[in-house]
Amino acid sequence: MTIIDGKEVSLAVKNRIAEQVKQSGIKPGLAVIIVGNDPASRVYVNNKKKACEYCGFLSEEYALPESTTLDELLSLIHKLNEDDKIDGILCQLPLPKHLDEKEVIAAISPKKDVDAFSEVNVGKIMIGDYSFLPCTPAGVMELLSYYNIEVAGKNAVVIGRSNIVGKPMAMLLLHADATVTVCHSKTKGIKEICRKADIIVVATGRRNTLTADMVKEGVTVIDVGMNRDENGKLCGDVDFESVKEKADFITPVPGGVGPMTIAMLMQNTLSAYKNNRK
């Protein structure tokens, strides 16, 4: 059994990007907007700034008060859309309740939408002609590739159907020639479906969604979940201790998929620079 090391892979990705940036003498720019003072969001934003620094990017942060109106936020986004030194714009979610996330995402230019959440970019992923990929699913594909885990022709199961992870994850596995089944809270016979899977990606936000009796020997398990157990310790959606006994490859939480998300954001920002400044 191999524990997939997301820290190692994310460092390899960031080193590759930093090397490209250094050799070409370029300065991709990322603007991060954070509204209010959600502690988890603040941690994510700080990590994104550190990654930008590591890769040699320009990083701009716009920390707005909780009371920011939709018009004020949209006005900032429009300004950044026009700013030539900014290649990627990211608005940290969740936003305060009075702000319409859908409208905010739609306001970001598809060319600078490095989260790949806009309808245009989601549509491009669907047809397989994309500039950016949502960071978490892209990170999962990078992990599979780094560990030489064959995807083509394999049975892959995605548990979860969110717009940010589940749906795009299924599309990327499909583009890589896997046979994909998407399971969710209304799926009947999920245990039997999972037992046939060669690769299982779990993204439900619920502890112990996947247990040892649901997997076959030799499976690859990717855990996208981030939860806390009764002792306040970080854990994923997979019952790690029991499932690892049957898996050939498995991601831990923390240290698995998490570090990949920011590495792939750096990759998207570099791609945006190349596309925007041709």
Q: Which of 36-40, 78-82, 163-167 bottoms out in mean pLDDT, i.e. has the lowest?
A: 36-40
User: Which tokens sit at 198?
Assistant: 């060669």
What does pLDDT average to over the chain? 96
* Mean pLDDT of all residues in 31-48: 93
Residue 278 has pLDDT above 90, yes or no: no
* Mean pLDDT of all residues in 222-248: 95
- CA-wise closest residue to 48 among 57, 39, 36: 57
User: Which tokens sit at 182?
Assistant: 């998407």
User: Which tokens sit at 261?
Assistant: 């998300």
pLDDT score, position 245:
98
pLDDT score, position 166:
97
* Mean pLDDT of all residues in 101-117: 97
Catalytic positions, written as ranges: 48, 92, 115
pLDDT score, position 125:
94
* Mean pLDDT of all residues in 82-106: 96
Domains observed in the chain: 25-109 (3.40.50.10860), 135-257 (3.40.50.720)
pLDDT score, position 18:
98
Task: Indicate the pLDDT class of residue 277, thresholds 50, 70 and 90.
Answer: confident
Please give the single-letter amino acid code of residue 16. Answer: R
Task: Indicate the pLDDT class of residue 80, thresholds 50, 70 and 90.
Answer: very high
**Region of 233 on the Ramachandran plot (φ > 0 left; ψ -120 to 50 alpha; else beta):** beta
180-230 pLDDT per residue, tens: 999 999 999 999 999 999 999 999 999 999 999 999 999 999 999 999 988
Please give the single-letter amino acid code of residue 229. Answer: D
Task: Indicate the pLDDT class of residue 40, thresholds 50, 70 and 90.
Answer: confident
- The model carries a pTM of 0.95
Phi and psi at 249, nearest 5°, equal -135, 140
